[in-house]
């Protein structure tokens, strides 16, 4: 499944491919049409932080959405991923992401 992400406002996006252990950090700017969207490949985690007063974040999936339980969730500040969230901005974290598993736990339970 490919995810297309689009932002309005300024957004820090952290992606982490669980197969290659590759982390990428992107800065999306809704005012800049060149840097306001990204394609996230399959088996890649993603998390975002709003870096402006307001943000709107759009997800477009290449498959039909089923339910949250079908998605992978990893602790929002997992030490192995080390997302380096900007401390100048207040983190708003869902209960699901605040209580999620560590990356090593996900990788132990997910097969190729």
Distance CA 10, CA 36 (A): 9
100 C-beta neighbours (distance < 10 Å), count: 18
- The DSSP secondary-structure symbol of 63 reads S
Confidence of residue 101 (pLDDT cuts 50, 70, 90): very high
Domains of the chain in sequence order: 3-109 (2.60.120.10)
pLDDT, tens digit (0-9, with 9 covering 90-100), for 15-51: 999 999 999 999 988 777 666 778 888 899 999 999 9
State both tokens at 66: 């089923």
* Nearest Cα to Cα of residue 12 among 24, 2, 21: 24
Q: Please give the average per-residue pLDDT across 59-73, as a whole number.
A: 81
Percent of the chain exceeding pLDDT 90 equals: 43
In degrees, to the nearest 5, what angle opens at C-alpha 18 toward C-alphas 17 and 23?
A: 40
């Amino acid at each position: 499944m490919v995810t297309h992400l689009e932002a309005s406002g300024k957004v820090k996006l952290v992606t982490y491919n669980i197969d290659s252990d590759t982390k990428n950090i992107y800065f999306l700017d809704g005012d800049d049409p060149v840097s306001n969207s990204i394609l996230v490949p399959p088996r890649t985690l993603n998390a975002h932080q709003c870096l402006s007063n307001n943000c709107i974040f759009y997800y477009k999936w290449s498959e039909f959405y089923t339910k949250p339980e079908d998605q992978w969730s990893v602790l929002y500040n997992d030490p192995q991923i080390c997302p380096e969230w900007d401390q100048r901005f207040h983190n708003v974290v869902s209960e699901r992401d605040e209580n999620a598993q560590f990356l090593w736990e996900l990788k132990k339970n997910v097969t190729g």
